[in-house]
Amino acid sequence: MLSRVADSVFWMARYLERTDNLLRLLRTDYIASQDELLDYNWQLLADSFGSDRPEQKVKVENYRQALHHLLLSRPHECSVFTNIVRVRENARSVQDYITKELWQALNDYYHHILEPKTENLITHNDPVTALDFLLRDSIIFYGTLDVTMNRGEGYTFLNLGKYMERCLQNLEIVEFKRKQMVKAEVETVHWKYLLYALSGYEFHTKYYKNALNAKEVIHQVLFNTQFPHSISYSLGQMLRYFQRLADFSQPQQFQEIEGLLQKLIHSMNTYQQEYNISVIEKLIPDIRQQFNHLNARLASVYFGYS
Amino acid sequence: MSFHHFLSSYQSPPDTWDEMQAQGEIRKHYQVFLDSLEKASLGDLTQKDELAKKLFMSQGITFTVYSDGEGIEKIFPFDIIPRIITGAEWTHIEAGIRQRLKALNIFLKDVYHEQAIIKDKIIPASLIYSCPNYLKEMVNVDVPFDIYTHISGIDLIRDSDGSFYVLEDNLRTPSGVSYMLENRNMTYRIFPGLLPKNNVRSVKDYPDLLLKNLLALSNRQTSNPTVVLLTPGIYNSAYFEHTTLARLMGVELVEGRDLVVNDTKVYMKTTAGLRQVDVIYRRVDDEYLDPLVFNPGSMLGVSGLYYAYRAGNVAIINAPGNGVADDKAVYTFVPSMIRYYLNEEPILKTVPTYYMDNRDHFELVFSQVRKMVIKKTNESGGYGMLMGHAATDEHIAAYRSEVEKNPRQFIAQPMIHLSSVPCYINNKIQPRHVDLRPFALYGPQGIEIVPGGLTRVALREGSLVVNSSQGGGSKDTWVLG
């Protein structure tokens, strides 16, 4: 397939996964702030998931402002709105490659976020309704993708983008939660909401069977291969999909990227063996750096970046 | 209030051929369609109209209008009531277009090779050489199967006596075919069952016929030639059409930056390295095709493409340089071409045309400017046009001085009253003027025309301008079997 198309499909999936993760986090944290975490630090949230550029930073005074900044702000380069626009632009440039149904699902997503009703819910009414509404579009996208897309190269790059973004977001969210806990009296509440944000709470109670504790929560989020949001699971998926490219790639290129993926998996296995709670101090920067390198090499080898 | 009640108050404009009725009587070929709506209320039609809008929006069949730095999505206006053409009318149109294209294609070969038509003084040499779209780079370039006009859209109108006139030949990169296909898809959603009931001929074959022709143009000894569609990119107003055609044909949609020329061969950059391209269906204008030969500032084309084409290593569809044949000043000579090359009488009529660089014509035109349309010879899309009946005195004076500066760039034609059809606008059935653009495909095995085309509607009351850029819309076109 065309390098440009592979690139667009990959980034389309990354922006979509990023959006999905952010929506879930906002949903659970908003609910938490209404019920359990009454002194919720909205500025920390806006800073952690907003743009790093100084001119894009804003001061948020309440949850409405924070939600607006992260969800709907047009000039903000990291808002959900901007992400959806990017997803749609990428999809538009590969409209002939993705299925008509998938394009329509994304197009509807875009039109929904533009609806005045969405803004009204977020700025004046119940934000959860708006978040549910948008999350449903995200699920429709994944369903449509699964049902309609052919399993060729494009599907592989799409999944590589999805799982890479999932890992990176996972690291972001764990870091964010740790920052939230610095002044917290009861840590476990934060860990519980971390699991909620990753749709992993129910699984946790069934699998670990202990009272909620940081070590097991982080174990699940990083290493548990039955948990679809964990890094180990996502890496396994990336390797599985990537190996399908063997027949479509030049051998040297294929081996290089496969090697980088194997190395990531090996690193995770090593961290798991020596696992204790402090390992994440080392793990997070290391794994993030390896992903960034992988991303750059994929761009160079498969997407034609020079 | 019922549909028929409103129909009874339908008044077609004077001196105009109405496609649906003649002297208050409904024409036979509209009868089946109208009968099926007998029980429909205007509310039903409004619902259909809304459904069509919703479907267009959700499918992203839109264009973007920018205001205050933000893009607003608009759909291309679609009118729900189909335009109906009888089988006999279509046979006539089809034969006329076939004949015309055959002659135009021979003309292109001739004008870029022997130039017999100039030597025999059928067409003045000055007319050809002064045409900005005559490409000297195409002189003595042999094109595959001697075909230049692979895809053309011939604009037809109907005068008050019902006869068809050719208004324009679009032989470069005609657009609109995706609307022909999408409008048909819309019709079976809003009028279930009516297509079979009326025995409407299908237009669905278009992408298959096009792909068959494109594959046949490959010059490489391979069972699986690579065909691509070259688009200027997502900001082009016809981008939706490019994606639709690429998807329906299953070919790669490429941009200039996806292609590279090496050793006079064209390659596309894929995830597995470079892959040779055999056939390019380009939707990029001649001027932007190759920055080394044409416009050096072009970011849309591919450096070296022209040389690959000359070497016969890639086919470009349509051939570059076709603009000389659809130039509005060359247009008047098409009947002479048909007589000269084919020894036949033209089947379709041509609108009388006056040359502004002929002083007698110039005076004649401006003495009755209210009855005239003056156009630029190399513009399309309804731009740069003066409609005498609707212009102010100041506008006419300004236009006149513009023409005087460069008379070769203008022609004038008497105003033709385009035929009218019923449209559903503002909850009323109202007549509006239309033209018709059938799409013809010229391949190694001959000319094929899918039965239908794009009917463009001037949505403003009394307007004769059908271009989408100027307030025009479209409707489905039914050719009855």
Confidence (pLDDT) at A261? 97
To the nearest whole Å, the CA of B268 is away from the closest chain A CA by 7
| DSSP letter assigned to residue B252 | E
pLDDT tens, residue by residue, A233-269: 999 999 999 999 999 899 999 999 999 999 999 999 9
Instruction: Cite the beta strand spans of chain A per DSSP E.
Output: none
Chain A contacts of B252, Cβ < 8 Å?
1-2, 5, 96
The span from the CA of B28 to the CA of B25, in Å, is: 9
Task: Work out the pLDDT band at B67, boundaries 50, 70, 90.
Answer: low
Q: Which residues of B381-413 are buried (b: 16+ CB within 10 A; e: fewer)?
A: ebebbbbbeebeeeebeebbebbeeebebbbbb
Q: Which residues of B125-144 are buried (b: 16+ CB within 10 A; e: fewer)?
A: eebbeebebbbebbeebebb
- CB neighbours of residue A286 within 10 Å: 14
Residue A157 maps to a domain: yes
CB contact under 8 A, A92 and B269: no
Q: Identify the architecture of domain B352-414 in CATH.
A: 2-Layer Sandwich (3.30)
Confidence (pLDDT) at B470? 73
The span from the CA of A65 to the CA of A73, in Å, is: 10
Q: Are A199 and A186 in contact (CB under 8 A)?
A: no
| Collapsed DSSP state (helix, strand, coil) of residue B476 | strand
Residue A190 CB burial class (10 angstroms; 0-12, 13-18, ≥19): buried
Nearest to B268 among A2, A74, A89 (CB): A2
Closest-approach residue (CA) in chain B for A99: B247
Chain B contacts of A249, Cβ < 8 Å?
271-272
Helices B177-190/B42-58 angle, 10° precision: 130
Domain count, chain A: 1
Domain extent at residue A224? 3-301
Indicate if the pLDDT at residue B9 is higher than 90.
no
Confidence (pLDDT) at B62? 72
DSSP track, B141-205: ---GGG---SEEEEEEEE-TTS-EEEEEEE-SS---HHHHHHHHHHHHHHSTTHHHHTTBPP-TT
User: Is A112 within 8 Å of chain B by CB?
Assistant: no
- What is the token pair recorded at B443? 């391949």
State the amino acid at position B441 in one-letter form. L
Nearest to B246 among A4, A96, A249 (CB): A96
Chain B contacts of A158, Cβ < 8 Å?
none
CA dihedral in degrees (B339, B344, B348, B354; nearest 10)? 20
Residue spans of the domains in chain B: they are 352-414
Pairing verdict, β B315-317 and B279-282: parallel
| Residues on B contacting A at a C-beta cutoff of 8 Å | 57-60, 70, 73, 229, 233-234, 239-240, 242-244, 246-247, 252-255, 257-258, 268-273
Indicate if the pLDDT at residue B70 is higher than 70.
no
The span from the CA of A200 to the CA of A217, in Å, is: 9
To the nearest whole Å, the CA of A3 is away from the closest chain B CA by 5
Confidence (pLDDT) at B23? 83
> Angle B408-B412-B417 (CA atoms, 0-180°, nearest 5)?
160
User: Is A300 within 8 Å of chain B by CB?
Assistant: no
Q: Are B401 and B342 in contact (CB under 8 A)?
A: no
Confidence (pLDDT) at A38? 72
Nearest to B234 among A89, A153, A302 (CB): A89
* Residue keyed to tokens 């972001």: A172
Indicate if the pLDDT at residue B153 is higher than 90.
yes
Backbone angles phi, psi at B247, to 5 degrees: -65, -45
pLDDT tens, residue by residue, A88-123: 999 988 988 999 999 999 999 999 999 999 999 999
Q: Between A and B, how many residue pairs show a Cβ–Cβ distance under 8 A?
A: 68
CB contact under 8 A, B243 and A96: yes
CB contact under 8 A, A95 and B243: yes
Task: Work out the pLDDT band at A304, boundaries 50, 70, 90.
Answer: confident
Residue A306 maps to a domain: no
DSSP track, B271-296: TTEEEE--EEEE-S-HHHH-TTTS-T
Q: Are B372 and B415 in contact (CB under 8 A)?
A: yes
Nearest to B269 among A93, A245, A304 (CB): A304
Backbone angles phi, psi at A81, to 5 degrees: -55, -50
| Interface subset of A 126-165, CB within 8 angstroms of B | 153, 157
Closest-approach residue (CA) in chain B for A248: B272
The span from the CA of A297 to the CA of A287, in Å, is: 15
To the nearest whole Å, the CA of A150 is away from the closest chain B CA by 13
CB contact under 8 A, B60 and A92: yes
Nearest to A96 among B59, B73, B247 (CB): B247
Indicate if the pLDDT at residue B381 is higher than 70.
no
ipTM score here? Answer: 0.82
Chain A contacts of B258, Cβ < 8 Å?
2-4
- CB neighbours of residue A292 within 10 Å: 12
Q: Mean pLDDT, to the nearest integer, of B1-16?
A: 76
pLDDT tens, residue by residue, B156-206: 999 988 999 999 999 999 999 999 999 999 998 999 999 999 999 999 999
